[in-house]
Amino acid sequence: MDDQSSPSMNLLLQAAMSEPLLRGMYPWFSMDQLSVSRSKTWEGWGHEPFPAMLAAPDAYLVLSHPVREGHIALETKDPAAAAAFTARLVRDQLAEQTPGPHGWSVGVEQVLRDAGWYPGRNTDPSSWREPLEADGFHIHPTADNFLREFAGLTVGHGGPGITRAREPFELDPLLALGEADRFSEWSEETGRHLYPLGDLDHGHAFLGLDEQGELYVVGNWLARFGRIPEAMENLILGVMPIRKPYPADS
């Protein structure tokens, strides 16, 4: 347990450890949020859209995931109640998990439709693929498929999110021209092939996608929203990405 954790987070961790289902999974932290995964690797986090627990100053919140309208599934002052409720949600999700064609919530799909997306969208890749190739980027099939469907979309909304502020983003890979070295260095660091998708928050960071469909925030640090399609929920609705840990941080 991290000695720098808040007292409320320590109580939440103890409560989660008392739940056999949660104890058998792997914990992941982001600020005052605790989530679980069946994978012990950083790369494996986020593949299953399990709910998360938040240790707020005066309460414990359980956040449903995939996020739906009214995403706060429970608010309580009892960490044990939050952990027990989360365990029931995880158990139910493991039992059914029946995603739709994209697995998005209605609200996220509407945001993308408002930005110009529609089922079957297929853009011409030549306008961005050739300049990026000349700049040192080499595309992989997962990024090619994603950009054919989503390139050119801009989501300009902001405001409060689930565990972070919602930030605008633009899916234009040409915004990463001149950044091939940055993407190459992070690809070498992670052992994944990161390809640019566009930028986040008007250029404060870039968005990248690896060959396994993991969506990243790429800057002087690296964080991940999970795997597409769940990652689109996290990006659009304001879920804090998980930052890549470094040996010095452990």
Convert the pLDDT of each residue in 187-242 to its tens digit. 999 999 999 999 999 999 999 999 999 999 999 999 999 999 889 999 999 999 99
For the chain, the domains span 7-96, 106-249
The Cα angle at residue 28 between residues 23 and 32, in degrees rounded to 5: 110
CA atoms within 13 Å, Cβ hemisphere of 85: 21
Q: To the nearest whole percent, how much of the chain has pLDDT over 70?
A: 85
The four Cα atoms 134, 153, 159, 37 give a dihedral, to 10 degrees, of -70
Specify the pLDDT at position 3.
46
Are residues 195 and 209 in contact, defined by beta-carbon separation less than 8 angstroms? yes
Q: Residue 24: pLDDT band by 50, 70, 90 thresholds?
A: confident
* Tokens coding 219: 């800057």
Q: Dump pLDDT digits (tens) for 174-183.
A: 999 999 999 9
C-alpha distances out from residue 57 to 8, 75, 116, 216, 218, Å: 8, 12, 40, 29, 31
Q: At what angle do helices 230-237 and 106-114 cross, to 10 degrees?
A: 70
Residue 250 scores a pLDDT above 50: no
Most confident option among 68-82, 89-103, 126-140, 153-167: 126-140
117 vs 174, more confident = 174
104 vs 70, more confident = 104
Specify the pLDDT at position 45.
58
55-71 residues labelled b (16+ CB within 10 A) or e (exposed): beeebbbbbbbbbeeeb
Strand partners, 76: 60
Most confident option among 48-57, 69-78, 142-151: 142-151
CA atoms within 13 Å, Cβ hemisphere of 202: 3
What is the rounded CA–CA span in Å between residue 214 and residue 192? 9
Q: Please give the backbone phi and psi of residue 145, each rounded to the nearest 5 degrees, phi first.
A: -65, -40
Can you spell out the DSSP letters for 98-144? Answer: ---SS---HHHHHHHHHTT--TT----THHHHHHHHHTT----HHHH
